[in-house]
Amino acid sequence: MRKHIVAGNWKMNNGLIQTETLISELKQQTKTSDAEVMIAPTFTNLWHAFESTRQDDIEVIAQNMHFAENGAYTGEISAGMLKSIGIKTVILGHSERRAYFNETDDSLAKKVDTALANTMRVIFCFGEELSDRKAGNEEAVVERQIKNALFHLEASAFKHIVLAYEPVWAIGTGETASPEQAQDMHAFIRKTLNSKYGETVADDMTILYGGSVKPNNAKEIFSKPDVDGGLIGGAALNAEDFYAIVNAF
C-alpha cells in the first residue's frame, strides 16, 4: 500500500520563539491516522526543530537546497549541510521557488540529482497556472514539468521521490481544486509515470495534493483513490488545523 504523507510547509514564517511554540503545540496533538507527518521550518530553525522533535512522530524537512555540493554560492544551502544536521527530506520545485527565484525544469533536474546522490528523499512539486487550466493545457504543463525534471532518472530512484501536485491558482488563494479535479490530475500523473516506468513505479508513487487544503476540505480530497496526502501551507501554521488535516485520513 502507498504511504500517506501530510507535510506542512511553513514557508518564510516563524522565528525561533514561534517555532518553539508551534512545535510544542504540535506535540500536544494526537495522531489517529496512518499518515507520516512532516514539517518544513525555515533554514535557521531546522536544527532546533530537528532536535526538539527527535522523540516524536514528526519528520523535519527542508524547503529547498542548492544543486551544487558546495562552493561560491553566497546565501545558499547544500544537501550535505542539511544531511549534517539530520535532515533527510527536501521539498524541491515549489511554485514560489519557480515564480520568484527563477527555478526551471533544468535547474530542478540538477537539484533532484544532487538530493538523490546525497541519499535524500525529495518532495517534488509542480502544477499548472490558472491560464494553463483556462486554456485546457493543465495536463500538458504537468506532463512537461515531470518529464523534464525527472524522466532522466532510473526507475529505482522513484523510491526516494514523492510527488506534490499543486495547481498554482490554488496556493494561498483559498480556492482549492475540487476533489474531482485533484483525482483526475493525480490519475493522469500516475498514467504518465506508468507509460515510462511501468505499473509498479506508478502504483507505488505517493502523490500529494497541495493548494488551500484546510480541515474542512481535507477529508473529501484525501478520500480520492489517487490522492495520498497533502502539502499544506497556511493551515500548517496552526497545530490544531494541521492535525485535523493529518487525521483526515
**Cβ 128 to ligand PGA, closest distance in Å?**
14
The footprint of ligand PGA on residues 149-168 (CB under 6 A) is: 166
If one asks whether residue 64 binds ligand PGA (CB under 6 A), the answer comes out as: no
What is the rounded end-to-end Cα distance, in angstroms, of the chain?
14
Residue nearest to ligand PGA (CB): 233
Q: How far apart are CA 14 and CA 22, in angstroms?
A: 9
- Nearer residue to ligand PGA within complex by CB, 98 or 224: 98
Minimal distance in Å, beta carbon 5 to ligand PGA? 13
User: Are the beta carbons of 23 and 14 closer than 8 angstroms?
Assistant: no
- Contact predicate 125/231, CB 8 Å: yes
Distance CA 150, CA 156 (A): 12
* Helix, strand, coil share (%) of the chain residues, nearest 5: 45, 15, 40
Q: Which 168-207 residues touch ligand PGA, going by CB under 6 A?
A: 171-172
- If binding is defined by CB under 6 A, does position 234 make contact with ligand PGA? yes
Work out the angle at residue 50's Cα, subtended by the Cα atoms of residues 158 and 29, and round it to the nearest 5 degrees. Answer: 95
- Helix or strand run (H / E) with residue 230: strand 229-232
109 touching ligand PGA, by CB under 6 A: no
Contact 239, 247 (CB under 8 A): no
Q: Which amino acid is at 186?
A: H
Stretch that binds ligand PGA, among 38-46, 54-62, 97-105, 210-218 (CB under 6 A): 210-218
Specify the stretch interacting with ligand PGA by CB under 6 A; choose among 134-142, 153-161, 185-193, 211-219.
Answer: 211-219
Catalytic member of 59, 94, 96, 143 = 94
- Using CB under 6 A, which of 141, 210, 218, 222 touches ligand PGA? 210
- Under the criterion CB under 6 A, does residue 233 sit at the interface with ligand PGA? yes
Catalytic residues, by residue number, are 94, 166
Residues of the shown chain interacting with ligand PGA in the complex, contacts defined by CB under 6 A: 9, 166, 171-172, 210-213, 231-235
